[in-house]
Chains A and B, each alone.
Chain A
Amino acid sequence: MIGVISLAIVLFCSLAGALCYGAGSQGAVGAGRRLNFVAGAGAAVAAAYLMAQILADNFGLAYVASYSSRELPLVYKVSAFWAGQQGSFLLWLLIHGAAGAILACGQRMSNSGLAVYLALEALLTVLVLAKSPFVPTEATVTDGIGMNPLLQDPWMAVHPPIIFLGYALLAIPFAYSLGALIRPEPAKGWLEKARQWSLLAWAFLGGGIFIGGYWAYKVLGWGGYWGWDPVENSSLVPWLLATVLVHVLRVARVRESAQSLVDLAAIFTYAFVLYGTFLTRSGILGDFSVHSFAESNVGLTIALVNAFVLLSGLLLLTWRAKAMPQGELYNAYGSREFLLLLGMLITVFIATIVFLGMSMPLLTQLAGKPAAVDTDFYVRTTLPLAITMMLVLGCACQRHFGGRVLALGKLPYLALVLGMAAALAAGVRQVLPVLLAGAAAMGTAASCRSFRLHGLGLGGAIAHAGLGLGLLAMVLAGSGSQQVSRELAVGEAQDIFGHEIVYQGQEFTGDGTAKYYKYTVDGREVAALTKLHLNGEDAAREPAIDKTLGGDVYLAPTPTRAARSGIRLEKGKSAMGNLFLYRLDGIDIREEGDKMRVTADIAVTDGERVEHAKPSILATSEGGTSAPIEVMEGRERIRLTAVAGDQRSARLELMPSLQEEMALPVQTSISVKPVIWLLWLSAALVCAGCLVAVKK
């Protein structure tokens, strides 16, 4: 109840606050500020309430029951807050509300801007209410379903909040822009503040995307650091548009007439944040994505909010078009202004390609026959654009605003040659990737030189050098990567891509919740973790990665396990298993707290002696779990899988000994990824540069 009431308060206060700020009289603005604070506090109360319910294992809430469980470690209980759609929307609202309270202090934003901001807050609240995390559970749940083992990773604690920080903060430049359109004010006042907030949002969204990429690389099942999946693309498009936003904001500092471009970029950026949310949360891409959320009915609401935001922004801009500062955007083709805008036009083109690609299933569905693009398409199409963009970056670095030339010297040209040589040395043989490696290296060198000559600020230089290094790393680690799949027997050394790789067998952890596939690469030990369900099935898998300065050797084992068979036992009768004779002697049912333990008494014999084994199932309202137990000195393992209602028969699953399973050969996909660490480094540089640029 507290949750829903708090959300209702947020909705009321943000709407009333928007109206008060919109009215603009002194008294109304004072009320608006108080309503803004109350709305922020309401969101905080709702979030705190949900967090408290998760930590207290209150499975009376469907959300808590679906995403958390009693045994979940604390860090994942906290993460369960944003493991599902409902909670992640609430997290978004919480950040939006907190930022709103910050904006209301001092003279950070105009009243009309705050009115727009609070209107957005009301829309977000509608989304949270439409898909509320505070819906009660229908049946009684005792333990909770828990978090998908794939998500039980330390990165789960940071990746989603950082992404949502980026999404939420992009509302701020949107509000600045629309505020200034509703009630014109001197651009100098708000442009600088909008620039700082945009950079902050851009750094967080970029950081979130990069962390997601690294996470997807170090687990299996998400197709490597970037898979051009709709979920990934839907965060890339707003980030690319935010890139355009921060650059046109820079141009607007020297060219007033760029203000309408700023408005356009701010509107489209936020609209695409919402569009990406719509695409991934509505479930319409279910058949096209490896990790869309399941189908839901919130799609229409998001689509309406999205259309409303985009159309109201564009209409407002058209209405004010005449009153916008007029004049030249650039004076010569050789000026920084022109080159910068050209680079941004190319960025818009890339965003358009990604947008059309990810929306293709939706667009073609409207035309009748659904179709999708293959992922190679994105690389193929954006490659020439990326090369052009890096060349334009190189040129822009050697010009000042207005067109004065900076003498960058020979270094950029040297870098161009070195970049191409590095690609060739890494084994890249296609023309375009080699060209991209050269252009990217040139862009990096030009950014560094330009900084030395005071053409580029420190933040800008770091971020652009990072971008160049990142593209170079993508060519070297991507196009330069080699892959092969081999069956590896325990102890047998194989020479693959110049590395001596030996599979050392499987090792189970003491508590049976995980196992490792162990390898040595050139003598160095690495292990691939596989998390296990209680019944012994694979739950989530990671690769084994041997990291060196030259790059990574990436080993992905295919799940291997010994064959299992099932037998049905009738009370008092014997049945033959693989090695031994089994007989069901009795079934015992006992309550353990609010759970039920069903234990079977099984007599096992090899013909000479008899041993009694007691496999059991722990049953809860959500289902049952049963772990395998060893019989006859571990020569076979058995697991109780079912018991008949009349307790006259039971089913057993039989599996060979642990030793036998651990010694099985394993099919392994082996790939080498030259200097992939450079990619992680460059991503960190891009974000760091961006944060440096916020201060100025």
Chain B
Amino acid sequence: MNKKILLLVLVLAFGGYAAWSFADAVTPYVGISEAKAAKGSVQVKGLLDKAAPAPHQEGENFLFTLQDEETGETLPVRYLGTKPDQFDEAYHIVAIGQCQGSEFVANKLLIKCPSKYEQQRPK
């Protein structure tokens, strides 16, 4: 019987550990207006704002502007890294990070292309 208790204790300990670590790590998926209001880390999806200053490198950071697909609201993004691959072909950009002042500081970008496994039509 005490073997079952041992297993139960281990599983419960793990369950607690998992719940505790997940509580910290989950970053909700939000629109641009919510991203501006959010306290913690979020994922925000948008299109590249073509009207804004062209995306460019500034030292260690890559700067561009996201635009909400529906509301048209814009959000300047400072990505802590260099221009990602296939940035120019992206139809959606997902930035992960949080707002600091008027800027959204992203530590990760997901570039959504039609599909990396599917060739794009030759131009």
Contact = CB atoms under 8 A, between A and B. Distances in A.
A291 interface: yes
A287 B45 contact: yes
B33 interface: no
Contacts of A369: 28-29
A103 to B, nearest CB: 32
Nearest to B60: A485
A622 B121 contact: yes
A372 B82 contact: no
Contacts of B29: 287, 361, 369-372
A555 B41 CA distance: 30
Contacts of A235: none
Contacts of A380: 21, 25
B5 to A, nearest CB: 13
B18 interface: yes
Given A559-B83, A623-B123, A148 B116 contact: yes
Interface string A162-198: 0000000000000000000000000000000000000
Interface string A5-46: 000000000000000000000000000000000000000000
Interface stretch (A239-247, A426-434, A453-461, A529-537): A529-537
Interface in B69-123: 81-86, 88, 92, 94, 96, 108, 110-112, 114-123
B10 A290 contact: no
A484 B60 CA distance: 8
Interface residues of A, number: 59
A248 to B, nearest CB: 14
Contact of A373 (B25, B81, B123): B25
Contacts of A559: 83
B119 A67 contact: yes
Interface string B1-27: 001000100100010011001101111
Interface string A131-166: 000000000000001111111000000000000000
Contacts of A289: 110
Contact of B26 (A147, A288, A371): A371
B28 A371 contact: yes
B83 A558 contact: yes
A374 B25 contact: yes
Nearest to A151: B117
Contact of A349 (B3, B14, B57, B92): B14
* Interface hub of B26, B110, B111, B120 (most chain A Cβ within 10 A): B26
B43 interface: yes
B116 A537 contact: no
Contacts of A151: 117
* Interface hub of A66, A353, A371, A537 (most chain B Cβ within 10 A): A371
A221 interface: yes
B85 A220 contact: yes
A659 interface: no
A83 interface: yes
A381 B96 CA distance: 19
A290 B110 contact: yes
Contacts of A533: 122-123
Contacts of A374: 25, 27, 41, 96, 108
A578 interface: no
Interface string A551-576: 00000101100000000000000000
Contacts of A535: 122-123
Contact of A381 (B21, B111, B122): B21
Interface in A613-672: 622-625, 667, 669
Contacts of A625: 122-123
Contact of B82 (A288, A291, A622, A667): A667
A83 B115 CA distance: 12
* Interface hub of A149, A370, A372, A624 (most chain B Cβ within 10 A): A372
Interface residues of B, number: 44
Nearest to B62: A558
A352 interface: yes
Given A221-B85, A559-B83, A667-B57, A84 B118 contact: yes
A293 interface: yes
B70 to A, nearest CB: 15
Nearest to A88: B117
A287 B112 contact: yes
Contact of A377 (B25, B45, B57): B25
Contacts of A291: 116-117
A576 B88 CA distance: 28
Contacts of B7: 345
Contacts of A537: 88, 123
Contacts of B116: 148, 150, 221, 290-291
Contact of B18 (A221, A353, A370, A624): A353
B115 A294 contact: yes
Nearest to B6: A333
B28 A373 contact: no
A294 B117 CA distance: 8
Interface string A339-370: 00000010001001100110011001000011
B18 A356 contact: yes
Contacts of A147: 119
B26 A360 contact: yes
Contact of B43 (A353, A372, A375, A534): A372
Contacts of A150: 116
22 contacts: A66-B118, A145-B119, A287-B110, A287-B112, A290-B111, A291-B117, A292-B115, A293-B115, A329-B3, A349-B14, A361-B29, A371-B26, A371-B29, A373-B26, A375-B108, A377-B22, A380-B25, A485-B81, A485-B82, A533-B123, A534-B122, A623-B123
Interface of A: 66-67, 83-84, 145-151, 220-221, 286-294, 329, 345, 349, 352-353, 356-357, 360-361, 364, 369-377, 380-381, 484-485, 533-535, 537, 541, 556, 558-559, 622-625, 667, 669
Given A145-B122, A372-B26, A485-B82, 16 more contacts: A221-B86, A287-B29, A287-B45, A287-B112, A294-B117, A294-B118, A356-B22, A370-B28, A374-B25, A381-B25, A533-B122, A533-B123, A537-B88, A622-B121, A624-B122, A624-B123
